[in-house]
Amino acid sequence: MRHLATFADIRTAKAVSDYLQNQQIDNEISSDEQGWCLFIADESQLDRAQQELEQFVNNPYDQKYLDASWIRSQSADIYTKVSKSNNSLFKQIWLETGIVTRIVSLTVLVIFALQIVGFHPWIYHYLGFPISLAAIDISQLHQLVTPAFMHGSLVHLLFNLFWWIWLGGKLEVEKGSGLLINLFLISALGAHLCQYSMVSGSFLGLSGVVYGLLGYAWVAGKLNKLKLQIPNGIFIMMLLWLVVGFAEVLAIPMANWAHLGGMIAGMVWARFEKPTRSN
Protein backbone atom coordinates (compact mmCIF):
# COMPACT_ATOMS: atom_id res chain seq x y z
CA MET A 1 0.00 0.00 0.00
CA ARG A 2 1.28 3.45 -0.96
CA HIS A 3 -0.24 6.70 0.29
CA LEU A 4 -1.61 8.88 -2.51
CA ALA A 5 -3.32 11.79 -0.78
CA THR A 6 -5.24 12.94 2.29
CA PHE A 7 -8.59 14.71 1.96
CA ALA A 8 -10.51 16.86 4.41
CA ASP A 9 -13.88 15.21 3.73
CA ILE A 10 -15.02 11.74 2.75
CA ARG A 11 -17.04 12.83 -0.28
CA THR A 12 -13.96 14.17 -2.09
CA ALA A 13 -12.00 11.07 -1.12
CA LYS A 14 -14.82 8.86 -2.42
CA ALA A 15 -15.02 10.78 -5.70
CA VAL A 16 -11.31 10.20 -6.38
CA SER A 17 -11.48 6.60 -5.14
CA ASP A 18 -14.48 5.77 -7.34
CA TYR A 19 -12.84 7.19 -10.45
CA LEU A 20 -9.57 5.35 -9.78
CA GLN A 21 -11.46 2.08 -9.26
CA ASN A 22 -13.20 2.59 -12.60
CA GLN A 23 -9.74 3.05 -14.13
CA GLN A 24 -8.71 -0.35 -12.69
CA ILE A 25 -6.52 1.26 -10.02
CA ASP A 26 -7.34 -0.57 -6.78
CA ASN A 27 -7.35 1.63 -3.68
CA GLU A 28 -8.61 1.89 -0.15
CA ILE A 29 -9.73 4.71 2.12
CA SER A 30 -8.94 4.97 5.81
CA SER A 31 -8.98 7.83 8.30
CA ASP A 32 -6.60 9.39 10.79
CA GLU A 33 -6.37 12.66 12.66
CA GLN A 34 -5.45 14.47 9.43
CA GLY A 35 -8.54 13.39 7.48
CA TRP A 36 -9.40 10.73 4.90
CA CYS A 37 -6.37 8.98 3.43
CA LEU A 38 -6.34 7.29 0.02
CA PHE A 39 -3.91 4.40 -0.50
CA ILE A 40 -3.00 2.68 -3.78
CA ALA A 41 -2.89 -1.12 -3.51
CA ASP A 42 -0.38 -1.74 -6.32
CA GLU A 43 2.77 0.40 -6.09
CA SER A 44 3.32 0.06 -9.83
CA GLN A 45 0.12 2.06 -10.40
CA LEU A 46 1.15 4.94 -8.12
CA ASP A 47 2.50 7.22 -10.88
CA ARG A 48 -0.65 6.80 -12.95
CA ALA A 49 -2.79 7.46 -9.87
CA GLN A 50 -0.86 10.68 -9.18
CA GLN A 51 -1.49 11.84 -12.73
CA GLU A 52 -5.21 11.16 -12.36
CA LEU A 53 -5.22 13.02 -9.03
CA GLU A 54 -3.65 16.09 -10.63
CA GLN A 55 -6.38 16.11 -13.28
CA PHE A 56 -9.01 15.85 -10.55
CA VAL A 57 -7.52 18.79 -8.60
CA ASN A 58 -7.55 20.93 -11.76
CA ASN A 59 -11.18 20.11 -12.57
CA PRO A 60 -13.03 18.33 -9.71
CA TYR A 61 -16.49 18.88 -11.27
CA ASP A 62 -15.68 17.15 -14.54
CA GLN A 63 -18.54 14.93 -15.69
CA LYS A 64 -16.33 11.82 -15.65
CA TYR A 65 -15.89 12.05 -11.87
CA LEU A 66 -19.62 12.54 -11.28
CA ASP A 67 -20.46 9.57 -13.49
CA ALA A 68 -17.82 7.40 -11.81
CA SER A 69 -19.26 8.11 -8.36
CA TRP A 70 -22.74 7.15 -9.56
CA ILE A 71 -21.54 3.93 -11.18
CA ARG A 72 -19.56 2.90 -8.12
CA SER A 73 -22.46 3.73 -5.79
CA GLN A 74 -24.60 1.22 -7.66
CA SER A 75 -22.02 -1.55 -7.62
CA ALA A 76 -21.31 -4.18 -5.03
CA ASP A 77 -18.24 -2.18 -4.01
CA ILE A 78 -20.24 0.71 -2.60
CA TYR A 79 -18.95 -0.17 0.86
CA THR A 80 -15.30 0.52 0.07
CA LYS A 81 -13.20 -0.13 3.15
CA VAL A 82 -13.73 3.03 5.15
CA SER A 83 -12.67 2.83 8.78
CA LYS A 84 -13.54 5.52 11.25
CA SER A 85 -14.73 4.16 14.57
CA ASN A 86 -16.20 1.24 12.59
CA ASN A 87 -18.79 3.54 11.02
CA SER A 88 -20.38 2.39 7.77
CA LEU A 89 -20.45 4.60 4.69
CA PHE A 90 -24.20 5.10 5.15
CA LYS A 91 -23.63 6.33 8.68
CA GLN A 92 -21.01 8.79 7.45
CA ILE A 93 -23.46 10.13 4.86
CA TRP A 94 -26.14 10.36 7.54
CA LEU A 95 -23.80 12.30 9.85
CA GLU A 96 -23.06 14.75 7.03
CA THR A 97 -26.74 15.61 6.50
CA GLY A 98 -28.60 18.47 8.14
CA ILE A 99 -31.31 18.60 10.79
CA VAL A 100 -34.20 18.91 8.30
CA THR A 101 -33.05 15.88 6.33
CA ARG A 102 -32.90 13.84 9.53
CA ILE A 103 -36.22 15.04 10.95
CA VAL A 104 -38.10 14.24 7.74
CA SER A 105 -36.40 10.83 7.49
CA LEU A 106 -37.25 9.87 11.07
CA THR A 107 -40.81 11.18 10.71
CA VAL A 108 -41.34 9.05 7.61
CA LEU A 109 -40.02 5.98 9.43
CA VAL A 110 -42.21 6.55 12.49
CA ILE A 111 -45.33 7.06 10.39
CA PHE A 112 -44.61 3.92 8.38
CA ALA A 113 -44.18 1.94 11.61
CA LEU A 114 -47.53 3.25 12.86
CA GLN A 115 -49.15 2.23 9.57
CA ILE A 116 -47.81 -1.31 9.98
CA VAL A 117 -49.11 -1.74 13.53
CA GLY A 118 -52.67 -0.79 12.61
CA PHE A 119 -52.95 2.99 12.68
CA HIS A 120 -53.21 3.34 8.90
CA PRO A 121 -56.92 4.44 8.84
CA TRP A 122 -56.27 7.11 11.46
CA ILE A 123 -53.07 8.31 9.77
CA TYR A 124 -54.69 8.44 6.34
CA HIS A 125 -57.62 10.39 7.76
CA TYR A 126 -55.42 13.08 9.31
CA LEU A 127 -52.50 13.11 6.88
CA GLY A 128 -54.07 12.06 3.55
CA PHE A 129 -54.90 14.57 0.85
CA PRO A 130 -58.31 16.28 1.31
CA ILE A 131 -61.19 14.60 -0.48
CA SER A 132 -62.28 17.91 -2.01
CA LEU A 133 -60.34 21.16 -2.28
CA ALA A 134 -63.60 23.03 -2.73
CA ALA A 135 -64.67 22.11 0.79
CA ILE A 136 -61.25 22.22 2.47
CA ASP A 137 -61.15 23.62 5.99
CA ILE A 138 -58.30 25.68 7.41
CA SER A 139 -57.56 22.81 9.81
CA GLN A 140 -56.84 20.61 6.78
CA LEU A 141 -54.29 22.83 5.06
CA HIS A 142 -51.41 20.70 6.33
CA GLN A 143 -52.89 17.78 4.38
CA LEU A 144 -51.83 19.44 1.14
CA VAL A 145 -48.25 18.33 1.92
CA THR A 146 -48.48 15.55 4.54
CA PRO A 147 -49.21 12.70 2.07
CA ALA A 148 -45.46 12.85 1.38
CA PHE A 149 -44.83 11.34 4.83
CA MET A 150 -46.84 8.16 4.15
CA HIS A 151 -45.76 5.12 2.12
CA GLY A 152 -47.53 2.07 0.79
CA SER A 153 -44.73 -0.50 1.05
CA LEU A 154 -41.24 -1.04 2.44
CA VAL A 155 -39.68 -0.91 -1.05
CA HIS A 156 -41.49 2.37 -1.73
CA LEU A 157 -40.21 3.76 1.56
CA LEU A 158 -36.59 2.67 1.13
CA PHE A 159 -36.35 3.94 -2.45
CA ASN A 160 -37.61 7.38 -1.48
CA LEU A 161 -35.53 7.58 1.70
CA PHE A 162 -32.36 6.75 -0.20
CA TRP A 163 -32.90 9.66 -2.58
CA TRP A 164 -34.10 12.01 0.16
CA ILE A 165 -31.10 11.38 2.44
CA TRP A 166 -28.55 11.45 -0.38
CA LEU A 167 -29.86 14.40 -2.38
CA GLY A 168 -31.70 16.29 0.35
CA GLY A 169 -28.67 15.97 2.64
CA LYS A 170 -26.33 17.40 0.00
CA LEU A 171 -28.67 20.30 -0.75
CA GLU A 172 -29.13 21.13 2.92
CA VAL A 173 -25.39 21.12 3.61
CA GLU A 174 -24.67 23.40 0.66
CA LYS A 175 -27.72 25.68 0.62
CA GLY A 176 -29.05 25.53 4.17
CA SER A 177 -32.05 24.16 6.04
CA GLY A 178 -34.32 27.01 4.95
CA LEU A 179 -33.87 26.14 1.29
CA LEU A 180 -34.62 22.48 1.91
CA ILE A 181 -37.79 23.30 3.87
CA ASN A 182 -39.03 25.62 1.12
CA LEU A 183 -38.14 23.09 -1.55
CA PHE A 184 -39.93 20.31 0.34
CA LEU A 185 -43.10 22.43 0.63
CA ILE A 186 -43.16 23.74 -2.95
CA SER A 187 -42.35 20.30 -4.40
CA ALA A 188 -44.99 18.58 -2.27
CA LEU A 189 -47.62 21.17 -3.20
CA GLY A 190 -46.76 21.00 -6.88
CA ALA A 191 -46.75 17.20 -6.86
CA HIS A 192 -49.96 16.73 -4.89
CA LEU A 193 -52.01 19.40 -6.65
CA CYS A 194 -50.94 18.05 -10.03
CA GLN A 195 -51.86 14.47 -9.12
CA TYR A 196 -55.18 15.59 -7.60
CA SER A 197 -56.06 17.69 -10.66
CA MET A 198 -55.22 14.99 -13.21
CA VAL A 199 -56.27 11.81 -11.39
CA SER A 200 -57.52 11.92 -7.78
CA GLY A 201 -56.49 12.65 -4.21
CA SER A 202 -55.66 9.02 -3.46
CA PHE A 203 -51.85 8.97 -3.36
CA LEU A 204 -48.98 8.95 -0.90
CA GLY A 205 -45.19 8.95 -0.78
CA LEU A 206 -42.12 11.16 -0.89
CA SER A 207 -41.56 10.55 -4.62
CA GLY A 208 -42.95 13.90 -5.73
CA VAL A 209 -40.61 15.70 -3.36
CA VAL A 210 -37.67 13.57 -4.52
CA TYR A 211 -38.40 14.54 -8.13
CA GLY A 212 -38.63 18.14 -6.95
CA LEU A 213 -35.15 17.93 -5.40
CA LEU A 214 -33.83 16.30 -8.56
CA GLY A 215 -35.36 18.94 -10.83
CA TYR A 216 -34.06 21.75 -8.65
CA ALA A 217 -30.54 20.33 -8.37
CA TRP A 218 -30.26 19.65 -12.09
CA VAL A 219 -31.40 23.13 -13.19
CA ALA A 220 -29.53 24.97 -10.41
CA GLY A 221 -26.37 23.09 -11.33
CA LYS A 222 -26.72 23.99 -15.01
CA LEU A 223 -27.25 27.67 -14.05
CA ASN A 224 -24.18 27.62 -11.78
CA LYS A 225 -26.32 28.34 -8.73
CA LEU A 226 -25.24 25.09 -7.11
CA LYS A 227 -21.88 23.39 -6.63
CA LEU A 228 -23.59 20.00 -6.58
CA GLN A 229 -23.85 18.69 -10.13
CA ILE A 230 -26.34 15.96 -11.02
CA PRO A 231 -24.81 13.68 -13.69
CA ASN A 232 -26.83 13.70 -16.89
CA GLY A 233 -27.02 9.91 -16.68
CA ILE A 234 -28.87 10.05 -13.37
CA PHE A 235 -31.28 12.68 -14.62
CA ILE A 236 -32.02 10.75 -17.81
CA MET A 237 -32.55 7.55 -15.82
CA MET A 238 -35.14 9.27 -13.61
CA LEU A 239 -36.85 10.72 -16.69
CA LEU A 240 -37.03 7.24 -18.20
CA TRP A 241 -38.57 5.95 -14.97
CA LEU A 242 -41.16 8.72 -15.30
CA VAL A 243 -41.90 7.63 -18.87
CA VAL A 244 -42.21 3.99 -17.75
CA GLY A 245 -44.74 5.08 -15.16
CA PHE A 246 -46.89 6.95 -17.66
CA ALA A 247 -46.66 4.04 -20.10
CA GLU A 248 -48.02 1.73 -17.36
CA VAL A 249 -45.78 -1.14 -18.38
CA LEU A 250 -45.32 -2.18 -14.73
CA ALA A 251 -48.14 -3.69 -12.73
CA ILE A 252 -47.66 -1.32 -9.82
CA PRO A 253 -49.57 1.87 -8.95
CA MET A 254 -47.51 5.01 -9.51
CA ALA A 255 -48.44 8.64 -8.90
CA ASN A 256 -46.92 9.75 -12.20
CA TRP A 257 -48.48 13.19 -12.25
CA ALA A 258 -47.12 13.80 -8.75
CA HIS A 259 -43.63 12.93 -9.99
CA LEU A 260 -43.98 15.29 -12.93
CA GLY A 261 -45.55 18.08 -10.87
CA GLY A 262 -42.86 17.86 -8.20
CA MET A 263 -40.06 17.93 -10.77
CA ILE A 264 -41.51 20.95 -12.57
CA ALA A 265 -41.95 22.78 -9.25
CA GLY A 266 -38.31 22.16 -8.35
CA MET A 267 -37.12 23.28 -11.78
CA VAL A 268 -39.16 26.48 -11.67
CA TRP A 269 -37.86 27.26 -8.18
CA ALA A 270 -34.27 26.83 -9.37
CA ARG A 271 -34.85 28.96 -12.47
CA PHE A 272 -36.21 31.97 -10.58
CA GLU A 273 -34.27 31.57 -7.35
CA LYS A 274 -32.21 34.64 -6.51
CA PRO A 275 -28.47 34.04 -6.07
CA THR A 276 -27.31 33.96 -2.46
CA ARG A 277 -24.02 34.85 -0.86
CA SER A 278 -23.18 31.15 -0.46
CA ASN A 279 -23.15 30.86 -4.24
Q: Which amino acid is at 27?
A: N
Is 269 in contact with 186 (CB distance < 8 Å)?
yes
- CA geometry: angle at 39 spanning 37 and 43, to 5°? 155
Report which of 89, 97, 76, 101 is spatially closest to residue 14, judged by C-alpha positions: 89
Residue 146 DSSP label: G
Residue from 88, 187, 259, 278 carrying the catalytic annotation: 259
Beta-carbon count within 10 A of 195 CB: 24
Q: Is 202 one of the catalytic residues?
A: no
Is 215 in contact with 263 (CB distance < 8 Å)?
yes
Residue 258 DSSP label: H
Residue from 31, 105, 187, 207 carrying the catalytic annotation: 207
Q: Is 207 one of the catalytic residues?
A: yes
Measured CA to CA in angstroms, residue 119 lies from 48, 105, 107, 113, 114 at distances of: 58, 19, 15, 9, 5
Report which of 91, 275, 61 is spatially closest to residue 179, judged by C-alpha positions: 275
Is 168 in contact with 231 (CB distance < 8 Å)?
no
Active site residues: 207, 259
